[in-house]
Amino acid sequence: MKRPFSYLLLSTLLFQSLSAEKPDPKSLEFTKWTPDFPVPDPVAIAFDNQGRAYVTQTQRRKANDLDIRQNRDWIPDDLSFLSPDDKRAFYRKHFTPKNSEANKRRVKDFNKDGKHDLDDLQFLTERIHLIEDTDGDGLADKTSVYAEDFKDEIAGIAAGVLHHEGDVYTTIVPDVWKLRDTDNDGKADTRESIAYGFGPHLAYAGHDMHGLTLGPDGRIYWTVGDKGLGATSKEGLHFKYPNHGALLRCDPDGSNFEVYARGLRNVQEIAFDQFGNIFGVDNDSDRPGEKERFVYIVRHMDAGWRSNWQYRNGVYNPWMDENLSVPYQKGQPAYITPAISLYNNGPAGMAFNPGTALNEEWQNYFFHTSAPNGQHWGFQVEQNGASFKMVNDMKITSGVPIVGINFGPDGALYGVDWGGGYPLNKKGAVWKWDVAKKHPLREETAGKLRSDFSKSSTDFLVKDLGHADQRVRLKAQFELVKRKLRDELKNAAKKGSQLTRIHAIWGIGQLNRQAKSPDFKFLLGLLNDADIEIQTQIVKTIGDHFGTQLALHLAPAPSSQVSPLTPALRPLLRSSSARLKFHAAIALGNIGSPLEADSIHELLGQTDEDKTYLRHAAIVLATGCISDADLISLAKHKSQLAQKIAVVALRRRGSAEVGVFLSSPLEHVAAEAARAIHDDWTIPEAMPALAASLASTSWINNESLIRRAINANFHLGTPEAAQCVATFAARTDVPEPLRLEALDALAKWSEPAKLDRVVGRYRPLEKRKPAIAREAITTQLKKLLTDKSQNIQSQSMSLARSLSVQIPGEALIAVAQNDFSLPKLRVEALRGLSAQNHPELETHLTAALQAPKVEIRIVALDLLSQKNKEAAFEVTKFLLQNEKAPLTEKQAAISLLARALASPKSDELLNTYLSKFKSIRAGLHLDFAEAAMARKLNAPSPDFAHTLHGGNVERGADLFVNHLAAQCVRCHKIKNGKGSDIGPNLKSIGRQKDRAYLLEALAEPQKVIAKGYGAISLTLNDGSTVAGSYRSEKDGIIEIRDANNKATKVKASDVKERSEVISTMPPIGLILTKREVRDLIEYLASLKAK
């Protein structure tokens, strides 16, 4: 039979060189597919083979699906949740009518019953809309609700959707739902939760489940953000990753669920290439200097992120301080598989050209959207050893913030626009990328996708395994599997094009998974094939049959039984192909037959540590196959890489034997062992060894090791542990920050916080007797108080005071009077005298009121207010009258009048100034207004207008960088330093704009949008669309700039419809207190770079 045209073109179209000339983004036409009706607040889009779109709508985001940034007091509780049921129980405890007043700030009274309770959390529903082009004119003309009533009290957002063989799948925390329209009326009438247990945490809004995708193995894949999971499979395996984002998979009926990869933060959508490789872009954690990450996702990988890293503000944060957030760096922890490269801000949608979409120029391209800034990208990947690298990256279009994307069966690329930004406003649209010169096989592909393959002959199905479009190939593969045509698949696997053979191999893998007794003999017989990729796919398919238990949070010990597969696969560890070696090692680890430690050397040889994917493969091999005893023997091995692999394998099993590596002569191995013992669930049996290493380790400069060793002692809480920490704090050969950490641990010894000191994980400890830390510090106090470092002296004084350890008064007086001492040291000395109620306290406080440093004077006045209120009142009165007194000192004095010095006399003094409120110094308006409110005096209520002056630059700078909810650096950068390019660079904002502008921009960002940073779309009278960054509108002309910064000018009279110019910045007044806003304005006003 004559082969159709598609097969003749296959070799020239499918294997187009990646080094070919890059396509011109201008060839892509970007138009609105739904010009006649809004698509409310859409998140994800999928198509059936008839071209009908299924689009999810969120109503619950931040309204019913709460965001921890608006509920920061719940962070410790949130991190304690291990399953969605924990969150459910917490909500039912707190969202009661009795707690209505307290819940006002958490949830609106949606049902208007006068109460803020659980009913309000169950008011809004997620929806799936069915959108159709019924007349075939290329524009959607019909929309209806396909499914709704997703409003469980802990339900998240509908962030993923997939159509597969008549079923519609959607991901809505805590469930994966399977829906079907059985009577063809356009509405789902059956639904089933096929997987449950996702989203234990509130975490950040949008960190839900996304990216529903059909894998080449016939399984359903999706991602979950760092809301995490605590899910049990239908087979009874419990996957315990509450603080991880992950890539997940299961069969279409929900069986055989497993965690494919973990340690991700929030990969929203993934894409498979033609060889089954999985890629995604992971969101950063909004840290200064951090970027999003392009990731090649492989089985059992740990990408390093934990949701507990998120809340480590202003303190040691392993995510940043241990270089977990970046591609490979020397000394980086070995337990992670780091990103391939850094990438663009705000990743959302992702799709891979299936083969015949768009046209030949866009062959083998991935497409990706950056939602907040409305930019859209295209790129390719190129094999790089066992991994890949991104090539031919380009911006293709911009102007409309697109979230989810997907290819339609017509070959165009579609994306959903959330009404121009994140706020829920019932607006939105579906947009379409297409080209004028279409791929010659697009119509054929669309026809095959529409057709009923159950009626196709076997010959045609086998031929379609080699079709130019991935979707057709998979459809043919799945039909052959349904018919259980193993022999036909075997024949196809032996001959034909490379992709024909690969799909046949995948089909055989599916049949093996369905069989009670899988048959690997045929696949093993092809292992000598001349095509390395065919060998790789065989090995990967065999290995994928096993290894589910390696995905558990604690992997089992290796089996004692030798599989007949192992002798056939082991020689491949020595292959010259890094990609084949990688998959062979993963497969052997999954199979789990016992192997000796030499297998690691066979795989790695002289491999450098920067080959992180081979390292990961070796970790899986070691975890699955090598006994604890053999792994421990590697402690004497000369290779640092081999030792690290042994440590991580023991960590994955939770083996206390890993403690042996704490005494390694190799610094990074010892640090790896410390992480293994200390982090995640800890290895309790090895914690004493980690604690003891504080006194014995040679690596006193290794911050990651030492902080964990201090914390291990802190967790033990014994007198011996406290003494170990105190002795370490007194060592002068140790870096000062680590000595200060030890002192702080002793300060918190008796009342530990619920969140861990180093990793921020929920680890509540029992209270301990203060005498334990008191006795420990007493033995070292003299040495500490005479240390060369005034920082050590200051913190030691503070510690002694908090533990009621008496320091001789003369020693404190000497420090308090010493003008050469650091202000914080003198302050601690004054506080020490106050705590002792020293007979000369008032004398020294009076003297301190004359100190040159204002911070000393403020503390002295505060302490005086506790000792002698009359004297303190007079000082306060003098400060307010003194025009030369610093603003911060006056502010402190006003606060005292409403607090420690509150009295009728103080109220009278406040009223004196309140009566002339408008004429007093602007920087004191907020302080007087708040004092009046506290004392119930007649005065203007505190208002944002009072925040224009009087802030603190240092506090404002810290807020800009570190505030959990404000997240300024998520979108902005100062000069060329840390931050993001989503919003304008603010390095000169204080020179360019006045304070009134800054306040308006913070309080009402939609009113003040920086030129070029607001997204707009225009629908013209002729039906065409123009989208981009809004620049200006003058004399009836609207100017917009596209992705290449090219200006387009449109007559306003030609515009039929326009979207609002959208800023993605939230109103900061809903997030920050007025004092915080004042500090932020002060900081921004100070930015005057030229």
Give the confidence band of 421 by pLDDT, cuts at 50, 70, 90. Answer: low
Distances (CA, A) of 968 to 192, 364, 941, 959, 1071: 41, 37, 27, 8, 12
Q: Please tell me the distance from the alpha carbon of residue 647 to that of residue 655, in angstroms, as a whole number.
A: 9
Give the confidence band of 1045 by pLDDT, cuts at 50, 70, 90. Answer: low
CB 177 within 8 A of CB 169: yes
Lowest mean pLDDT among 497-511, 544-558, 630-644, 945-959: 945-959
Q: Please tell me the distance from the alpha carbon of residue 650 to that of residue 646, in angstroms, as a whole number.
A: 6
Helices 703-716, 687-696: crossing angle, 10 deg rounding: 120
CB 157 within 8 A of CB 58: yes
Place of tokens 């030609």: 1054
Residue 162: strand pairing partners:
169
Give the confidence band of 18 by pLDDT, cuts at 50, 70, 90. Answer: low
What kind of fold does domain 25-303+339-435 have according to CATH?
A: Neuraminidase (2.120.10)
Give the confidence band of 1003 by pLDDT, cuts at 50, 70, 90. Answer: confident
Residue 113 DSSP code: S
pLDDT digit string (tens) for 483-499? Answer: 999 999 999 999 999 99
CA Rg, the chain, in Å? 32
Q: What are phi and psi of 247, to 5 degrees?
A: -105, 130
Q: What pLDDT shows up at residue 10?
A: 38
Q: Please tell me the distance from the alpha carbon of residue 1082 to that of residue 887, in angstroms, as a whole number.
A: 13
Higher-confidence residue: 1000 or 268?
268
Cα angle: 1007, vertex 1009, 1014; to 5 degrees: 120
Is it true that the peptide bond before 174 is cis, omega within 30 degrees of 0? Answer: yes
Q: Please tell me the distance from the alpha carbon of residue 80 to that of residue 84, in angstroms, as a whole number.
A: 11
Residue type, 931: A
Q: What pLDDT shows up at residue 150?
A: 98
Residue 191: strand pairing partners:
179
How many C-beta atoms lie closer than 10 Å to residue 454's C-beta? Answer: 8
Place of tokens 């989208």: 1027
Q: Please tell me the distance from the alpha carbon of residue 362 to that of residue 981, in angstroms, as a whole number.
A: 27
Tokens encoding 172: 């809505």
Q: What pLDDT shows up at residue 419?
A: 74
Q: What are phi and psi of 484, to 5 degrees?
A: 55, 40
Q: Please tell me the distance from the alpha carbon of residue 939 to that of residue 894, in angstroms, as a whole number.
A: 14
pLDDT at 937 over 70: yes
pLDDT digit string (tens) for 619-658? Answer: 999 999 999 999 999 999 989 999 999 999 999 999 999 9
Mean pLDDT of 654-669: 98
pLDDT digit string (tens) for 804-843? Answer: 999 999 999 999 999 888 999 999 999 999 999 999 999 9
Residue type, 1013: Y
Place of tokens 């470092």: 789
Mean pLDDT of the chain: 92
Give the confidence band of 904 by pLDDT, cuts at 50, 70, 90. Answer: very high
Tokens encoding 711: 């914390």
pLDDT digit string (tens) for 108-154? Answer: 999 999 999 999 999 999 999 999 999 999 999 999 999 999 999 99
Q: What pLDDT shows up at residue 444?
A: 98
Mean pLDDT of 665-679: 98
Mean pLDDT of 256-281: 99
Q: Please tell me the distance from the alpha carbon of residue 620 to that of residue 489, in angstroms, as a whole number.
A: 30
pLDDT at 563 over 80: yes
Residue 233 DSSP code: -
Residue 207 DSSP code: -
Tokens encoding 123: 């008011």
How many C-beta atoms lie closer than 10 Å to residue 1023's C-beta? Answer: 12
pLDDT at 67 over 80: yes
Give the confidence band of 13 by pLDDT, cuts at 50, 70, 90. Answer: very low
- CATH code given to domain 953-1010+1066-1085: 1.10.760.10
Helices (H), 734-806: 736-747, 770-778, 781-785, 790-802
Helices 719-729, 736-747: crossing angle, 10 deg rounding: 150
HEC string of 244-255 equals CEEEEEECCCCC
Q: Please tell me the distance from the alpha carbon of residue 214 to that of residue 1078, in angstroms, as a whole number.
A: 51
CB 414 within 8 A of CB 442: no
| 465 burial type by CB count under 10 A (0-12 exposed, 13-18 middle, 19+ buried) | buried
pLDDT at 970 over 70: no
Residue type, 1000: E
Q: What are phi and psi of 896, to 5 degrees?
A: -65, -35
Q: What pLDDT shows up at residue 1009?
A: 64
CB 514 within 8 A of CB 521: no
Q: What pLDDT shows up at residue 1?
A: 33
Residue 57 DSSP code: E
Higher-confidence residue: 1089 or 413?
413
Q: What are phi and psi of 1037, to 5 degrees?
A: -120, 125
Residue 350: strand pairing partners:
368
Q: Which of 1035, 1031, 1036, 1060 is nearest to 1047 (CA)?
A: 1031
Lowest mean pLDDT among 286-300, 422-436, 940-954: 940-954
Q: What pLDDT shows up at residue 1070?
A: 66
Residue type, 445: T
pTM of the complete model: 0.89
Q: How many residues does the chain have?
A: 1090
Lowest mean pLDDT among 735-744, 1052-1061, 1081-1090: 1052-1061
What kind of fold does domain 455-680 have according to CATH?
A: Leucine-rich Repeat Variant (1.25.10)
CB 812 within 8 A of CB 829: yes
Q: Please tell me the distance from the alpha carbon of residue 1022 to that of residue 29, in angstroms, as a whole number.
A: 15
Q: What are phi and psi of 967, to 5 degrees?
A: 50, 50
pLDDT at 271 over 90: yes
Q: What pLDDT shows up at residue 959?
A: 78
Give the confidence band of 3 by pLDDT, cuts at 50, 70, 90. Answer: very low
- Listed by start position, the domains of the chain span 25-303+339-435, 455-680, 953-1010+1066-1085, 1015-1058
Q: Please tell me the distance from the alpha carbon of residue 600 to that of residue 781, in angstroms, as a whole number.
A: 50
Q: Which of 363, 397, 395 is nearest to 380 (CA)?
A: 363
Q: What pLDDT shows up at residue 54?
A: 99
Q: What pLDDT shows up at residue 1011?
A: 60
Q: Do 25-303+339-435 and 455-680 agree at the fold level?
A: no
Q: Please tell me the distance from the alpha carbon of residue 726 to that of residue 374, in angstroms, as a whole number.
A: 54
Q: DSSP labels for 801-857?
A: HHTT----HHHHHHHHH-TTS-HHHHHHHHHHHHHHT-TTHHHHHHHHTT-SSHHHH
Q: Please tell me the distance from the alpha carbon of residue 549 to that of residue 558, in angstroms, as a whole number.
A: 11
Q: Please tell me the distance from the alpha carbon of residue 648 to that of residue 286, in angstroms, as a whole number.
A: 28
pLDDT digit string (tens) for 849-888? Answer: 999 999 999 999 999 999 999 999 999 999 999 999 999 9
Determine which helix (DSSP H) or strand (DSSP E) holds 431, and give its type and residue range.
Answer: strand 429-435
Place of tokens 């689009």: 55
Sign of CA dihedral 732, 736, 742, 743: positive
Q: Is 206 helix (H, G, I), strand (E, B) or coil?
A: coil
Q: What is the dihedral of CA 591, 595, 597, 603, to 10 degrees?
A: -50
pLDDT at 1065 over 80: no
Give the confidence band of 1068 by pLDDT, cuts at 50, 70, 90. Answer: low
Q: Please tell me the distance from the alpha carbon of residue 405 to that of residue 127, in angstroms, as a whole number.
A: 18
Determine which helix (DSSP H) or strand (DSSP E) holds 513, and give its type and residue range.
Answer: helix 498-514
Q: Please tell me the distance from the alpha carbon of residue 30 to that of residue 396, in angstroms, as a whole number.
A: 10
| Percent of all residues in the chain with a pLDDT value above 90, rounded to a whole number | 80
Q: Please tell me the distance from the alpha carbon of residue 338 to that of residue 352, in angstroms, as a whole number.
A: 22
CB 276 within 8 A of CB 506: yes
Tokens encoding 801: 């005071």
The architecture CATH gives domain 1015-1058:
Roll (2.30)
Mean pLDDT of 542-548: 98
Q: What pLDDT shows up at residue 19?
A: 45
pLDDT at 980 over 80: no
Q: Please tell me the distance from the alpha carbon of residue 644 to that of residue 333, in angstroms, as a whole number.
A: 9
Q: What pLDDT shows up at residue 286?
A: 86
